[in-house]
């Protein structure tokens, strides 16, 4: 890792570097830290927080979690070949170089921020209430047509995932796409300080995390913290069809680039033709050109993701041919509108997370399917005081979209079930929990069904997808 020596890492996180007794030592007057000759110049191969993933040459950051305390594995990681450990408490007898800090999680962020500074490459930060992951996939696929591109993996979009994403960048990375998710004020500020994005993409302002952020205006304020440490010469790209994002008139003296379906946007799409679960085709218009695209993922919202990727691609010098090729090459991520043929069933695996906006979008997608349309839904968390009302709205919306069957689990989803029944879905059932629903599904589903699986991550609906795929 470029310039990631033990000494530089200790400096970056303002830690105290100590080694086993008997080794040569010195001091750095500027920082008041010990410098150990023969140790401090070693460069890390990687930075990890999971002791099981330690490889020779890595530095292990010991974090105290809810279930596991990384400090318990300090000796073990040295046995595996770690060259140093960042920790809040040193073992009585040091098995190797230890960088003692007050807060290991804060140190992880500081180390990631330092490494980002060693990588003078364009980084795209993506945030919003819905669609961050799929937008990230579109943007990364487009940029990969010109640059060696690094991107967020899985759900690594929070205060642990973002620094790990940055620290996983290979030295030859030419561009990076980092997903940035929050649910409290101040979090995006800290993420932005690490990422220092050159381009900020905001997908929309929906109704998620209302429990902590209060209102859509609160969500906009919290997510706008992404601008706090962005490159002042950089660019902001926002969904111009979103009423809240439209209120952002300028950032660092520059007008945002607007993308959306309305022709009033800088980048927009028309002649959109749905191909059902196979995706859609569209014509994308920029200020200088118009070009046709094949969007391989299903759902109208995927057109917006393609537009966001177009906006970013143009900022980083891609041609329209390269942008169209990147859009056509995008692939679905597990749990994010992934269409799966599972025996006699067609599954729409959208089980990673849920809120009212994303669930309605998923129901829109299900409405395009062939055969009996079955929605397997669950509780949506962090919606605040109107949570039951919002669940009821989703149930009614399912009926409006012509969904044939609704099977749901969880205490909040009882309101979803009730509203769906009242709105005309006769084949609807409610279950107390995910396990009860999973046990009943084999008798409820028929060959030829198209099945949407969606709920908040805490409901554990991934095991429903896994069971049905088998």
Per-residue confidence (pLDDT) for residue 12, from 0 to 100: 94
Instruction: Check if the beta carbon of residue 375 is closer than 8 Å to that of residue 399.
Output: no
DSSP letter assigned to residue 164: H
Per-residue confidence (pLDDT) for residue 114, from 0 to 100: 96
- Report the chain (470 residues): mean pLDDT per 10 consecutive residues: 90 89 43 48 88 94 90 93 93 88 95 96 94 92 98 86 95 96 89 97 80 79 94 96 93 96 97 87 96 90 95 98 97 77 89 87 89 94 89 96 96 95 94 95 94 93 91
Per-residue confidence (pLDDT) for residue 26, from 0 to 100: 36
Architecture of domain 6-111: 3-Layer(aba) Sandwich (3.40)
Binding-site residues for ATP, in ranges, read: 128-134
Give me the sheet containing 338-342, strands edge to edge: 338-342, 345-349, 450-454, 373-378, 405-409, 427-431
Domain ranges of the chain: 6-111, 119-328, 338-469
- Domain boundaries 119-328, corresponding CATH code: 3.40.1190.10
Q: How far apart, in Å, are the Cα atoms of 53 and each of 73, 80, 470?
A: 12, 10, 29
Q: How far apart are CA 405 and CA 408, in angstroms?
A: 10
Q: Decide: pTM greater than 0.85.
A: no
Alpha carbon 334 to chain centroid distance?
12
Biggest CA pair distance of the chain: 78
Pairing of strands 257-260, 26-28: unpaired
Binding-site residues, in ranges, read: 128-134
Per-residue confidence (pLDDT) for residue 211, from 0 to 100: 66
Q: Who contacts 439 (Cβ-Cβ below 8 Å, separation ≥6)?
A: none
Instruction: Check if the beta carbon of residue 86 is closer than 8 Å to that of residue 101.
Output: yes
DSSP letter assigned to residue 394: H
Q: Report the CATH fold assignment for 338-469.
A: 3.90.190
DSSP letter assigned to residue 225: G
- The phi-psi region of residue 358 (left if phi > 0; otherwise alpha if psi is between -120 and 50; otherwise beta) is alpha
The neighbouring-strand residues paired with 283 are 270, 292
Q: Is 247 exposed, middle or buried (0-12, 13-18, 19+ CB in 10 A)?
A: exposed
């Amino acid at each position: 890792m470029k310039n990631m020596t033990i000494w530089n890492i200790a400096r970056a996180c303002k830690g105290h570097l100590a080694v086993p007794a008997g080794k040569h030592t010195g001091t750095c007057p500027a920082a008041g830290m010990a410098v150990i000759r023969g140790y401090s110049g070693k460069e890390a191969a990687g930075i990890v927080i999971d002791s099981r993933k330690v490889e020779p040459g890595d530095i292990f950051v010991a974090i105290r979690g809810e279930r596991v305390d990384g400090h318990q594995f300090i000796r073990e990681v040295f046995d595996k070949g770690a060259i140093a450990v960042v920790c809040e408490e040193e073992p009585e007898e040091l098995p190797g170089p230890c960088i003692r800090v007050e807060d290991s999680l804060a140190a992880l962020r500081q180390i990631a921020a330092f490494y980002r500074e060693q990588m003078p490459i364009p980084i795209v930060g993506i945030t919003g209430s819905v669609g961050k992951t799929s937008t990230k996939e579109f943007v990364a696929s487009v940029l990969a047509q010109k640059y060696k591109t690094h991107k967020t993996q899985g759900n690594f979009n929070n205060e642990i995932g973002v620094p790990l994403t940055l620290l996983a960048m290979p030295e030859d990375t030419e561009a990076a796409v980092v997903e940035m998710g929050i649910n409290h004020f101040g979090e995006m500020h800290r993420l932005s300080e690490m990422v220092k994005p050159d381009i900020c993409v905001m997908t929309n302002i929906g109704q998620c995390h209302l429990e902590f952020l209060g209102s859509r205006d609160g969500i906009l304020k919290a997510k706008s913290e992404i601008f706090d440490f962005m490159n002042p010469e950089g660019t902001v790209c926002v969904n111009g069809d979103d009423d809240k994002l439209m209120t952002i008139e300028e950032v660092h003296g520059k007008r945002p680039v607007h993308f959306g379906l309305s022709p009033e946007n800088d980048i927009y799409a028309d002649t959109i033709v749905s191909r059902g679960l196979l995706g859609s085709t569209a014509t994308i218009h920029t200020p200088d050109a118009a070009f046709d695209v094949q969007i391989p993922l299903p759902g109208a919202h995927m057109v917006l993701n393609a537009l966001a990727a177009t906006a970013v691609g143009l900022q980083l010098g891609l041609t329209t041919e390269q942008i169209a090729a990147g859009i056509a090459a995008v692939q679905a991520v597990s749990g994010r509108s992934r269409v799966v043929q599972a025996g006699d069933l067609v599954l729409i695996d959208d089980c990673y997370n849920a809120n009212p906006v994303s669930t309605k979008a998923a129901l829109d997608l299900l409405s395009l399917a062939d055969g009996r349309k079955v929605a397997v839904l669950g509780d949506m968390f962090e919606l605040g005081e109107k949570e039951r009302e919002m669940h009821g709205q989703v149930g009614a919306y399912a009926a409006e979209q012509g969904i044939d069957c609704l099977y749901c689990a969880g205490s909040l989803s009882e309101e979803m079930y009730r509203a769906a029944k009242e709105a005309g879905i006769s084949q609807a059932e409610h279950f107390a929990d995910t396990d009860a629903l999973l046990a009943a599904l084999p008798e409820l589903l028929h060959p030829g069904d198209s099945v949407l699986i969606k709920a908040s991550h805490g409901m554990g609906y991934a095991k429903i997808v896994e069971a049905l795929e088998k």
